[in-house]
Amino acid sequence: MIHRFKASAFWRIAALALSLALVFSLAACSSTEETTDPEATVTEPVVEATKLVLASTTSTQDSGLFDVLIPAFEEAYPEYAVDVVAVGTGEALALGESKDADVLLVHAKASEEEFVANGFGTERHDVMYNDFIIVGPESDPAGIAGMTDAAAALTKISEAEATFVSRGDDSGTHTKELSIWAAADIEPAGDWYLSAGQGMGDVLKLADEKLGYTMSDRATYLNLMDTMDLVILAEGDAIMFNQYGVIPVVDATNMEGAQAFADWIVSAEGQAVIETYGVEKFGQPLFIPNAS
213, 135 contact by CB (below 8 A): yes
- Tell whether 124 and 137 lie within a shared domain: no
Radius of gyration of the chain (CA): 32
Give the CATH number for residue 78: 3.40.190.10
Domain of residue 118: give its range. Answer: 50-129+243-289
Claim to verify: residue 147 and residue 66 sit in the same structural domain:
no
Predicted local distance difference test score (pLDDT) of residue 138: 97
Tens of pLDDT along the chain (292 residues)? 434 434 444 445 444 444 444 444 444 444 444 444 555 455 556 668 999 999 999 989 999 999 999 999 999 999 999 999 999 999 999 999 999 999 999 999 999 999 999 999 999 999 999 999 999 999 999 999 999 999 999 999 999 999 999 999 989 999 999 999 999 999 999 999 999 999 999 999 999 999 999 999 999 999 999 999 999 999 999 999 999 999 999 999 999 999 999 999 999 999 999 999 999 998 989 999 999 7
Q: Determine the pLDDT at residue 149.
A: 98
SS3 of the chain: helix, strand, coil, percent, to 5: 50, 20, 30
So what's the pLDDT on residue 190? 96
Contacts of 281 (CB under 8 A, 6+ apart): none
In a domain, 11, yes or no: no
Q: What angle do the packed helices 268-276 and 66-76 form, to 10 degrees?
A: 160
pLDDT confidence of residue 5: 39
- Same domain as 262, residue 125: yes
Whose CA is closest to 90, among 106, 114, 113, 66? 106
Residue 59 shares a structural domain with residue 101: yes
The CA–CA distances, whole Å, from 119 to 20, 38, 85, 250 equal: 80, 53, 22, 7
Q: Give me the residues paired with residue 81 across strands.
A: 51
Is there a single domain that holds both residue 125 and residue 263?
Answer: yes
Amino acid making up residue 116: V
Q: How many domains does the chain have?
A: 2
pLDDT of residue 292: 73
